[in-house]
Structure 1
Amino acid sequence: MNIKKIAEMAGVSVSTVSKIMNNYPDVSEKTKQRVMEIIEQTGYSPSNSAKTLATKKSSLIGVIFAGELNVDFTHPFFLAVLNAFKKQMGVLGYDLIFFSNEKFLSGGDYYSRCVHFHVDGCVIISGEHMEPAIQELDMSSIPCIGVDLELKGKKSGYVTSDNYQISSKVVEHFYLLGYRELGFIGSTANSDISNQREAGYVKAIEGFGMNINENWFVHGDDFFEPSGYDAMQKLIQSGPLPKAIFAASDLLALGAIRALKEHGLRIPEDIAMIGCDDIEACKYTTPTLTTIRQNKERLGILAAHMLYDMINNQSEGGSFVVEPALIVRESCGSHLHDQG
């Protein structure tokens, strides 16, 4: 039994049955009662596949954590964005389906899986070392929205924070506190996000007329805490240290602080530290972490509305850049640094 047979038995169109199952008001009570009686008599259980047949839409959104080194539910920033996205898509009438990326790293195809599950659109969460299947999906007819990932397809869009402004705010804060010897801890050299933040950092430092010491610019393998720890260890072993460091993520900053403490260095007395993301842990570390807040809820809600508009042909994609904000805490506070 399926929706088509129900429609034939009731002598109505498939779309009428679909409207009744979805509680649309523009169906007469007599027709609604006849269809519901047939559904009850046959024991038919309306399913998502029936809805797809009737409307050509499944109300399913695919969720993809992209990249060989992908972020996932353990990453507090992207988890917060995804939670906001999920809630807003729920309000708009959609459910989420999660794709494992393991099979696609060896040459699989996201597009065919999306077609198989009849997804109406996809949200793609940025990772590192993008698999070719992501680009193929981006260029397909399936609407896609990227989070911190620039998509260029005709039916694609993306939301991100202004990474150059993030770095500019960090350098301005360091400068006003009297710090002139600045370092940087980034993710892998293949990370677009890290590279943008580093490029913005360099440009802002030069804009204030300060010198750049390339020995104080180090990189980890990803945005997580162990990479920050290892990068800071390398910096400590390389010689004299900068007076202040910008880490491209809060987790990198927390790893760096752990390494500094192991060597008996104080934050911010010996080295000031600023992170990026404003994850919840920043409020509870010792010292609490000064950081750049990315508006995670706004990013998630914007991504949901932009994808919804693309699915419903109200938009052809585009991009939206969310303005960041400096959150001052103990690791790089509001008091002028004593250069002496």
Structure 2
Amino acid sequence: MIKKTTIVDIARAAGVSVSTVSRILNNKPDVAEETRQRVLQVIEEQRFAPHTAWQQLRSGKSRFIALHFPQDFNPLSQGIITNAAMRCEQFGFTLNLIVGALSENDLLGIFRSGQADGMILVEILVNDWRVELLRQHTTNFVMIGRCADTTGLSYVDSDIGAGVTDAIEHLVGLGHRHIGFITVGRITPEKEYGFTAWARQGYHAACRRHDLPAYARTTDLTTDSVVAVATELLTQHPEITALVTPQDAAVPGILKAITACGLSIPEDISVVGLLDESFAEVMTPPLTALSFSSRTLGFTAAEMLVAQLNGAAPDPQQILVRPELCVRGSTAPARAPQMIGKGTP
């Protein structure tokens, strides 16, 4: 049977009183530094406290990192969160997930109260108040995603604009000249999601490059809204032979709309989405899709932030990860002109 180490054992081994050990454990200031370090060394040797606890006492830091993932546009990305947590733990930090809305006081309070040494921000808006607030207060934070003004900031993001460009290039190579584009999340001046903004920029730039008409639409966050908008788009523009979406949340609604219009994939219309490989492969037909590594995003964000906290990142780090276009069965050569309008209302 393993004997449990007590505070009495620590006091005896360090040659101090039990009250002195108690004051050190509670991070009280009225203890000589030499005594504090001797007691902490005994605590470490005898494993009286968890590794994280004595590191907190030694460093004066919480050893916690907060990750704020507000639920405004997308469901939680299990891959990003899990991989960020794994990397934080490898560096001796614990990741705390926050999904609720925060006020300015809430956000600053996390740092002022010592609840976290740094923060990973996710779901970045084009003009994100969280970013501006933390920048003004010179706190340690990084972004998964990016805002309009990234001067002096560190982030890792999917280069979704380049990914959408690759999707359009693929479709143009198959003879498509009328390509629709659908994003999820209504745009307001105060709340424009960065990911979809950079995706739309990529779409419009590709259309200009190939002298294509643009058919971009934005829907609400529900599948019913996606169905309605996609159906209206296909009805008003039966010349469309392909649809692209950079968000997995839009895929089910787009597929429903195509079926409702009496069209077949890929014979009548090609589809490119953003979907996890495991889901894209089992669809009928398998979905041609953009994909990016949630492991890379989570790991890299954690590494960036820990480097900041350790003083090992004097300059901002800005990394774009280009999505991979995996061509499957949902894209094919554009239908012949005489077939335009087949099955449309």
Q: Same fold (TM over 0.5)?
A: yes
Q: Hey, what does 2:321 align to over in structure 1?
A: 322
- Secondary structure of the 1:82 match is helix
In the TM superposition, residue 318 of structure 1 has moved relative to its aligned partner by: 2.1
Q: Hey, what does 1:125 align to over in structure 2?
A: 122
Alignment partner of 1:204 is 2:206:
yes
Please, which runs of 5 or more residues in structure 1 have no aligned partner? 24-31, 40-44
Aligned partner of 2:112: which letter? V
In the TM superposition, residue 231 of structure 1 has moved relative to its aligned partner by: 2.4
Aligned partner of 1:165: which letter? A
Q: Hey, what does 1:65 align to over in structure 2?
A: 69
Instruction: Specify which of 132, 136, 140 is matched with residue 135 of structure 1.
Output: 132
Cα deviation, 1:173-196, whole Å, max 9, x if unaligned, reads 001111111111023332222121
The equivalences for 1:18-29 within 5 A come to: 18-21=40-43, 23=44
Instruction: Kindly tell me the number of residue pairs found equivalent between the two proteins.
Output: 308
The equivalences for 1:280-319 within 5 A come to: 280-316=278-314, 317-319=316-318
**TM-aligned CA distance change 1:291 to 1:192, over 3 Å:** same
Alignment partner of 1:54 is 2:84:
no
**TM-aligned CA distance change 1:47 to 1:169, over 3 Å:** closer
**TM-aligned CA distance change 1:219 to 1:3, over 3 Å:** same
**TM-aligned CA distance change 1:5 to 1:284, over 3 Å:** closer
Alpha-carbon distance in structure 2 between the residues aligned to 1:122 and 1:5:
25
Alpha-carbon distance in structure 2 between the residues aligned to 1:296 and 1:191:
18
Alignment partner of 1:88 is 2:110:
no
**TM-aligned CA distance change 1:271 to 1:137, over 3 Å:** same
Instruction: Specify which of 90, 107, 112 is matched with residue 110 of structure 1.
Output: 107
TM-score, scaled relative to structure 1: 0.79
Alpha-carbon distance in structure 2 between the residues aligned to 1:59 and 1:283:
40
* Conservation of the 8 A alpha-carbon contact between 1:158 and 1:319: yes
* Conservation of the 8 A alpha-carbon contact between 1:250 and 1:279: no
Alignment partner of 1:229 is 2:227:
yes
Please, which runs of 5 or more residues in structure 2 have no aligned partner? 1-21, 338-345
Which protein has the larger Cα radius of gyration, Structure 1 or Structure 2? 2
Cα deviation, 1:11-47, whole Å, max 9, x if unaligned, reads 94434444554x4xxxxxxxx57xx7xx6xxxxx569
**TM-aligned CA distance change 1:139 to 1:17, over 3 Å:** farther
**TM-aligned CA distance change 1:46 to 1:288, over 3 Å:** closer
* Conservation of the 8 A alpha-carbon contact between 2:241 and 2:334: no
- Secondary structure of the 1:332 match is coil
Cα deviation, 1:319-338, whole Å, max 9, x if unaligned, reads 111122111112115xx334
Q: Hey, what does 1:3 align to over in structure 2?
A: 24
In the TM superposition, residue 162 of structure 1 has moved relative to its aligned partner by: 1.5
**TM-aligned CA distance change 1:139 to 1:61, over 3 Å:** same
- Secondary structure of the 1:281 match is helix
Q: Hey, what does 1:169 align to over in structure 2?
A: 166
* Conservation of the 8 A alpha-carbon contact between 1:66 and 1:128: no
Q: Which moved more, 1:312-321 or 1:142-151?
A: 142-151
* Conservation of the 8 A alpha-carbon contact between 1:4 and 1:14: no
